[in-house]
Amino acid sequence: MFKHNRKLQYNATPDKPDPLMARRLQESLGGQWGEMTGMLSYLSQGWSSSGDEKYKDLLLDTGTEEIGHVEMISTMVAQLLEGAPIYAEEEAYRSDPALAAVMGGMDPEQAIVHGLTASLNNPNGAAWTTGYTTSSGNLVADMRFNVVRESEARLQVSRLYYMTRDEGVRDMLKFLLARETQHQLQFMEAQEELEDKYGVVVPGDMKDIEYQEYSHVLMNFSDGDGSRQFEGQVAKDGEKFTYQENPEAMGGIPKLKPADEQLHNHQG
Amino acid sequence: MFKHNRKLQYNATPDKPDPLMARRLQESLGGQWGEMTGMLSYLSQGWSSSGDEKYKDLLLDTGTEEIGHVEMISTMVAQLLEGAPIYAEEEAYRSDPALAAVMGGMDPEQAIVHGLTASLNNPNGAAWTTGYTTSSGNLVADMRFNVVRESEARLQVSRLYYMTRDEGVRDMLKFLLARETQHQLQFMEAQEELEDKYGVVVPGDMKDIEYQEYSHVLMNFSDGDGSRQFEGQVAKDGEKFTYQENPEAMGGIPKLKPADEQLHNHQG
Amino acid sequence: MFKHNRKLQYNATPDKPDPLMARRLQESLGGQWGEMTGMLSYLSQGWSSSGDEKYKDLLLDTGTEEIGHVEMISTMVAQLLEGAPIYAEEEAYRSDPALAAVMGGMDPEQAIVHGLTASLNNPNGAAWTTGYTTSSGNLVADMRFNVVRESEARLQVSRLYYMTRDEGVRDMLKFLLARETQHQLQFMEAQEELEDKYGVVVPGDMKDIEYQEYSHVLMNFSDGDGSRQFEGQVAKDGEKFTYQENPEAMGGIPKLKPADEQLHNHQG
Amino acid sequence: MFKHNRKLQYNATPDKPDPLMARRLQESLGGQWGEMTGMLSYLSQGWSSSGDEKYKDLLLDTGTEEIGHVEMISTMVAQLLEGAPIYAEEEAYRSDPALAAVMGGMDPEQAIVHGLTASLNNPNGAAWTTGYTTSSGNLVADMRFNVVRESEARLQVSRLYYMTRDEGVRDMLKFLLARETQHQLQFMEAQEELEDKYGVVVPGDMKDIEYQEYSHVLMNFSDGDGSRQFEGQVAKDGEKFTYQENPEAMGGIPKLKPADEQLHNHQG
Amino acid sequence: MFKHNRKLQYNATPDKPDPLMARRLQESLGGQWGEMTGMLSYLSQGWSSSGDEKYKDLLLDTGTEEIGHVEMISTMVAQLLEGAPIYAEEEAYRSDPALAAVMGGMDPEQAIVHGLTASLNNPNGAAWTTGYTTSSGNLVADMRFNVVRESEARLQVSRLYYMTRDEGVRDMLKFLLARETQHQLQFMEAQEELEDKYGVVVPGDMKDIEYQEYSHVLMNFSDGDGSRQFEGQVAKDGEKFTYQENPEAMGGIPKLKPADEQLHNHQG
Amino acid sequence: MFKHNRKLQYNATPDKPDPLMARRLQESLGGQWGEMTGMLSYLSQGWSSSGDEKYKDLLLDTGTEEIGHVEMISTMVAQLLEGAPIYAEEEAYRSDPALAAVMGGMDPEQAIVHGLTASLNNPNGAAWTTGYTTSSGNLVADMRFNVVRESEARLQVSRLYYMTRDEGVRDMLKFLLARETQHQLQFMEAQEELEDKYGVVVPGDMKDIEYQEYSHVLMNFSDGDGSRQFEGQVAKDGEKFTYQENPEAMGGIPKLKPADEQLHNHQG
């Protein structure tokens, strides 16, 4: 069960409106690697967890924090949109390139659909979907996913940081950068503990079943030989990589049987 | 540029048809973490790479291999569908629970739309989308993504393995398990080399900008205290985690300004 | 069965082309609350209706009218795109901010994909989907949905009205505004009649089954006390709202059982 | 900012597992009208609100409660999936129609992708998307939307109630039914207050602009005369509906100009 | 503008309910190549047409007919769902394989979401989208698309025909088969006339611009030599196909420049 | 199985960067009719083929070539994005309309998400999906689809050609135009051979089943009489088209039965 505090976790007020930045920030909200992906992945993993409270609680702590990040960015976006020139007439931007850039670069749906407040979409107006989230039941895999979520998100925030000079926006981004550092590090920590317990290859209990003669071979399917440099390096599971210059096709030429006539598979 | 060899990389022939398994295998083909996600993520990362040939070539090798995995699974699925009882009449399954299970559990679109061959969807018929792929320009983040792709994929293949007793299907899955071991290990290797160069937190050059007082704090947003167990542990960047029992709301209560009247934002 | 009259229901000719407006109008065509959502929701509800002809006919009347609205907007959009400067070279817009705004703000797919005619997407190019429609079999719920469709649509048309000075476009929008008034009012009328018959809470026949001690309680999950103002007000079903300052968690801490080993749910 | 309490808002434990019900309940979680649609619509509306605290707080109260409903249903689904027969072999279901029904009717992704825990999809495995949510900036329209969300959701819960005899599942559903009664009633209350202030037709300030001669006319586009029964009834805004037997096409036959040759619009 | 006749274009009444067939028929309604794809493609092409009335009218005739086909199939599906055993308890299907097949194979959303009436989705519950439609402004290309729509649709109807013995369903399908024959033939006729006018390669006016040395070469990228059989055959534009055994890579190895540092493209 | 050659099939280097063109070219990569649609449709058709090697090999040749086209366009897009002014400050574009056009017209995700490299989306940022592909098992239908894919793609490339003056971009487009000519012609050739074998109406073996009295009738559902011009023309199957001025509704007014009470289908 959840409770909401009207105060934001951190400041989210721009120095002044900027509709182009309002559009760009939607990436951190409704993009593939935005805060909603973190929030619903971690919560779902936590709710589905049947194991150690250490990890379950970590997931629920972080998932809950992320709801507050969605809140902060939504709040920021609405303020960046204040007074956006959606009703500007051609006379106005005929002589004003800065206004022309805004006319061209705004997300028209933030105005038409949302009345100049945040959407839950990405900057190109694509709806966010749970197809971006992951909750597999296997925490080694999912902690790795969580590290990626925080890595891609922090990369995007870093890029966004340089796309504005607004000190208010940057203030919020500096906070988000720090939290994404923490989240990367904590999920790595959990990942490593879980790898120690279950093995470094996910899942750790299929080694005796797989065909091990193919499990440490760099196969050269592209004619560069860059990947040969890994040859002989020791993999994280202690075995060495070998290199296969010309990986062979071992499977024969497949020949499918014609289908039942009632399927009308007219194949020539 | 690419060339195709009609021979498959490995065997992909079941002992006998099984329409339920034909549906389940679509996960490895057109699911969020299926082979197409690997194929198009690695190829796109490779094509976009401007750096060391070692990594670029590794990405292109593996992306190219994955096209062949899509081929193998497509071939397998078509054979598992041979003679599926799509035209069975009620009289037939009225007395045959095994047939009833198949009637209920088949993907009807594999028959109606694809003439009993593979689709490019997941087992629930959802179309695969490039929204599942990642190519960010930052190889530390993307190598981590690639490790996740191979981890989630191998986890799913492991589950699929136990869902069938067909030795032909299992033969193919044992090969895929091994390749996914290799791919996990090679991408981890690349990831670690890149972390050594650029830092363990992605991206590695924003530390002086973020608010460091928040970058190593476990904030307790869920009332369990499992995550407190990380307190004092040394994070992968060498600093220690601290723990905040009651994270405070630092940001004030936001107050948005009313919008322009022409937006008709009637807010009460 | 349907018949088509080549004449439009109302005028749909702009005074002059305007590619930015051509993009914005796509919201009324292919947006979440656009005319296609009305058209296919009402028709589907009408086709699925097993009840009173009064409502069934109303739905089919209005759904059929909406096909004509899709037609009008498609026609308008194509005209707004006439002569759009898609082949303008940099020299042309280097000195012309109005042209620069258009270069930036056009939907490039209206040109590349549709040859400067309307798409069936929203202004951000997202495809319209039947995921936006509703036909539940329960007309109380669906009449409410229909009122919302017309409310959100009319709100958007009102915003679009102020985004242009073109008298031809405004002429069409004034007509659409009026029809959306009619449709809001007619569906409200139907809604109220159906509420009188089936009860104001949907569905009306589950009151004896639900836990009534929780059915009129404002629970205070956010620390503001604005919602306390509803306390004591009489709800539309005749009962009074009560207020719970600190809603309690009644459900215990869930503890899931570990899954079967073959699922590899490594949870720590 | 949000805080999480490990205890659930209400009980969410089934008497015994039931994989078919585990699939069906996904509708209340990740369906078009499921709890996520409520949660993110209300929160987004609340965060975007610039008006009266009474409504803003109501939205945030309810949105926050809904996160807990997503949690309850996720927890329930995981328990309903315990021990699901995903590894059953044909011998097992050859003689067991109940098992055959389960083999056919389970969602295979709940096993393969989520390790027998809840997904964030609907029962057909379609990902939930923010395309289902609404936050328009206009609270009259949005309160109406919220009433619909609760109406369609309660309708679905009512149907789900009769699809199981499990007393544990029914216990949770009886609680949800009650909360959805409260939410319908509270949002209706808010809707009516806002209608009193802003007018019953959304938005309320465009009446002088629309073509009023078309704003109260039932147009007969389907040859039934059911809708004529509304003729003469007084609409909620105090005016009477009129009826037009043969609505005329007022707009002329549109004639588009041929496009620029470089578009290759070969039209015959 | 459109008018609706309550009578269906053709009979759409099954002999008796069949929930499995009710699910399968959704393909013809809301599938990639279902009636909605025809309806909205043809109408959109017709509304966007600026050319000869012969083709414009043909498109509008057929698009309008297809609305009636959506109506027929929706009506049929609702009747096939009558009395579907959605509330069957385990005791009932424990001993009844036919019921077990239905329990497994029904679309649960047809019951939960639509109250046992048609959805606008495909049999796997995926929402129909305008991403399936085409209206390019070029009628040669689009008439070809229309022939494909009718070909794939008729193929699916043919498969569906053999999946049922219900004479009522088959009666409707026999009618749809005939109309899809007509539509294939009429669009082929239009296609050929337009090809005569504009050339057989779309678009017909770029021949002098393309590199003609590559425009009639079968390039052998797969190691089979089946495609060599086309060598020397005369293409539809009168020129002969040549065959290139080993197509060469003419483009060099691309080398991208490193990106600006502020993008953090850490590439190794 | 596939192999990759680091050399591109053809040149893909622009004379100079152009972020607007970088966005537009995404249509040919990740649009509905882009190269990925060709690549995965042809490969899937080829892998699913059980018939004549002539067609199977043709499909695999062409599908393999298309992977290389995705590679070429990805490479081109990355170079067009070099040095794009994503960090330009307002002072810079306040006086520069050309820069303003770029600020407005760039795809912000190419920068934020992909570090100024290609995405796998269309120019409006919509993810590519396998919902665009077709592999039906029937090669007559699918060859027709393939001709359409190449027709719509070549039409778009033709439009893109005139949207740039960059000789490097045009060089690549001239090559793609030629290959799309070849692919149109080869698939037409295959289509005609298959039509000769299986009949011109797809599928060719249902003629005796369909109601032939409706299979050659132009039905006049739109009040124009343009389509009457086809009357008496000989269709491709040798029969003449007839014309029905007033197509009648033959199907009666449908009357659905009320649903079970537990569905709460309150219909009035």
pLDDT in the model for residue F91 = 87
Chain F residues lying within 8 Å of D159, measured CB to CB: 262-264
Chain E residues lying within 8 Å of B49, measured CB to CB: 256, 267
Query: Which residue from E158, E159, E264 is facing A155, i.e. has the nearest CB?
Result: E264
| Residue C258 CB coordination number (10 Å) | 11
Structure tokens at F131: 């919902």
Residues of chain E with CATH 1.20.1260.10: 19-198
Query: Which residues of E are the active-site residues?
Result: 35, 66, 69, 150, 180, 183
Instruction: State the best of A60, A182, A192, A242 to mutate against chain B, taking most chain B CBs within 10 Å.
Output: A182
pLDDT in the model for residue C88 = 86
Instruction: Judge contact between B110 and B103, C-beta under 8 A.
Output: no
Chain C residues lying within 8 Å of F104, measured CB to CB: 100-101, 103-105
Closest chain D C-alpha to B244 CA, distance in angstroms: 13
Instruction: Judge contact between D4 and A2, C-beta under 8 A.
Output: yes
Instruction: State the best of C130, C172, C198 to mutate against chain E, taking most chain E CBs within 10 Å.
Output: C130
Instruction: State the best of B119, B257, B266 to mutate against chain D, taking most chain D CBs within 10 Å.
Output: B266
pLDDT, averaged across chain A: 97
pLDDT in the model for residue E122 = 98
- Which range among B164-168, F143-147, F257-261 shows the weakest confidence by mean pLDDT? F257-261
Chain A residues lying within 8 Å of E162, measured CB to CB: 262
For F115, residues 6+ apart whose C-beta sits below 8 A from its C-beta are A159, B48, B136, B137, B138, E259, E263, E264, E265
| Cα–Cα dist B123/B31, whole Å | 8
pLDDT, mean of residues B221-230: 96
Chains that touch A (3 or more CB pairs under 8 A): B, C, D, E, F
Structure tokens at D260: 């620029």
Chain F residues lying within 8 Å of E238, measured CB to CB: none
Chains that touch F (3 or more CB pairs under 8 A): A, B, C, D, E
What is the helix (H) or strand (E) element at residue F170, kind and residue range?
A: helix F167-198
- E1 SS3 class: coil
Closest chain F C-alpha to B45 CA, distance in angstroms: 9
pLDDT in the model for residue B89 = 83
Cβ E108–D24 below 8 Å, yes or no?
Answer: yes
Cβ F267–C52 below 8 Å, yes or no?
Answer: yes
Place domain D212-244 in its CATH homologous superfamily: manganese catalase, domain 2, chain A (3.30.1530.10)
Closest chain A C-alpha to E263 CA, distance in angstroms: 6
Residue A237 pLDDT grade (very low, low, confident, very high; cuts 50, 70, 90): very high
| Residue E244 CB coordination number (10 Å) | 14
User: F97-105 and C97-105 helices cross at what angle (nearest 10)?
Assistant: 10
Q: For B58-112, write each residue's pLDDT tens digit.
A: 999 999 999 999 999 999 999 999 999 988 888 888 999 999 999 999 999 999 9
Chain C residues lying within 8 Å of F103, measured CB to CB: 104
Cβ B159–D3 below 8 Å, yes or no?
Answer: no
Instruction: Judge contact between E70 and E40, C-beta under 8 A.
Output: no
Cβ D61–C218 below 8 Å, yes or no?
Answer: yes
Instruction: State the best of E159, E164, E267 to mutate against chain A, taking most chain A CBs within 10 Å.
Output: E159
Chain F residues lying within 8 Å of D262, measured CB to CB: 159, 162
Determine the residue of chain D that is closest to A59 in CA distance.
D4
Q: For A91-147, write each residue's pLDDT tens digit.
A: 888 999 999 999 999 999 999 999 999 999 999 999 999 999 999 999 999 999 999
Chain A residues lying within 8 Å of F101, measured CB to CB: 100-101, 104
Query: Which residues of C are the active-site residues?
Result: 35, 66, 69, 150, 180, 183
A183 counts as catalytic: yes
Chain E residues lying within 8 Å of F75, measured CB to CB: 254, 256
| Residue F83 CB coordination number (10 Å) | 12
Query: Which residue from E105, E112, E115 is facing D160, i.e. has the nearest CB?
Result: E112
Q: How many CA atoms lie within 13 A of B232 on its CB side?
A: 2
- E217 SS3 class: strand
| Cα–Cα dist C75/C127, whole Å | 19
- D219 SS3 class: strand
Cβ D104–E99 below 8 Å, yes or no?
Answer: no
In this model, does residue A88 exceed pLDDT 90?
no
Q: For B231-266, write each residue's pLDDT tens digit.
A: 999 999 999 999 999 999 999 999 999 999 999 999
Residue type, C151: S
Query: Which residue from B87, B177, B251 is facing A10, i.e. has the nearest CB?
Result: B251
Write down the catalytic residue from B53, B65, B69, B264: B69
B183 counts as catalytic: yes
Query: Which residues of F are the active-site residues?
Result: 35, 66, 69, 150, 180, 183
Residue type, D94: R
- D59 SS3 class: helix
Q: For D70-101, write each residue's pLDDT tens digit.
A: 999 999 999 999 999 988 888 888 999 999 99
Residues of chain B with CATH 3.30.1530.10: 212-244
pLDDT in the model for residue C203 = 98
Query: Which residue from C162, C263, C264 is facing B262, i.e. has the nearest CB?
Result: C162
Pick the CATH number of F19-198 from 2.60.40.10, 1.20.1260.10, 3.40.50.2000, 1.10.1740.10: 1.20.1260.10
Residues with pLDDT less than 70, chain E: none
Q: For D161-206, write each residue's pLDDT tens digit.
A: 999 999 999 999 999 999 999 999 999 999 999 999 999 999 999 9
Structure tokens at E87: 């509330």
pLDDT, averaged across chain F: 97
Residue D57 pLDDT grade (very low, low, confident, very high; cuts 50, 70, 90): very high
pLDDT in the model for residue D89 = 83
Positive or negative, the CA dihedral B56, B62, B68, B74 is negative
Cβ A30–D130 below 8 Å, yes or no?
Answer: yes
Q: For D216-256, write each residue's pLDDT tens digit.
A: 999 999 999 999 999 999 999 999 999 999 999 999 999 99
Rounded-to-10 torsion of CA F10, F15, F21, F26: 20
| Cα–Cα dist B235/A189, whole Å | 7
Instruction: State the best of F262, F265, F266, F267 to mutate against chain D, taking most chain D CBs within 10 Å.
Output: F262
pLDDT in the model for residue B87 = 87
Q: For B27-70, write each residue's pLDDT tens digit.
A: 999 999 999 999 999 999 999 999 999 999 999 999 999 999 99
Residue type, B144: R
Closest chain C C-alpha to B56 CA, distance in angstroms: 32
In angstroms, how far is CA D49 from the centroid of its own chain? 21
Buried b / exposed e along B158-183 (16+ C-beta atoms within 10 A)? bbbbbbbebebbbbbbbbbbbbbbbb
Q: For A92-104, write each residue's pLDDT tens digit.
A: 889 999 999 999 9
| Cα–Cα dist C32/C66, whole Å | 15
Instruction: Judge contact between E104 and B105, C-beta under 8 A.
Output: yes
pLDDT in the model for residue F208 = 97
Q: For F218-260, write each residue's pLDDT tens digit.
A: 999 999 999 999 999 999 999 999 999 999 999 999 999 999 9
Query: Which residue from F4, F99, F104 is facing A222, i.e. has the nearest CB?
Result: F4
| Cα–Cα dist A77/C219, whole Å | 29
pLDDT, mean of residues C221-250: 97
pLDDT in the model for residue B96 = 94
Query: Which residue from B101, B165, B255 is facing D103, i.e. has the nearest CB?
Result: B101
pTM of the model: 0.98
Report the share of chain F in percent with pLDDT over 90.
97
Spatial CA neighbour of E186 closest among E238, E143, E140, E229: E143
Cβ C178–D213 below 8 Å, yes or no?
Answer: yes
Chains that touch B (3 or more CB pairs under 8 A): A, C, D, E, F
Chain A residues lying within 8 Å of E158, measured CB to CB: 264
Cβ A83–B138 below 8 Å, yes or no?
Answer: no
In this model, does residue C135 exceed pLDDT 90?
yes
Report the share of chain C in percent with pLDDT over 70.
100
User: A139-162 and A167-198 helices cross at what angle (nearest 10)?
Assistant: 160
| Cα–Cα dist B133/B130, whole Å | 5
| Cα–Cα dist E218/E224, whole Å | 13
| Cα–Cα dist C166/C16, whole Å | 7
Determine the residue of chain A that is closest to D135 in CA distance.
A114
pLDDT in the model for residue F95 = 92
Query: Which residue from C158, C159, C264 is facing B155, i.e. has the nearest CB?
Result: C264
* Contact residues of C toward B, CB < 8 A: 155, 158-159, 162, 262-264
A:E CB pairs within 8 Å: 12
Distances (CA, A) of C166 to B260, C28, C106: 21, 17, 18
Write down the catalytic residue from A82, A91, A152, A180: A180
| Cα–Cα dist D62/B256, whole Å | 20
Chain C residues lying within 8 Å of A94, measured CB to CB: 96-98
Query: Which residue from D40, D64, D131 is facing A2, i.e. has the nearest CB?
Result: D64
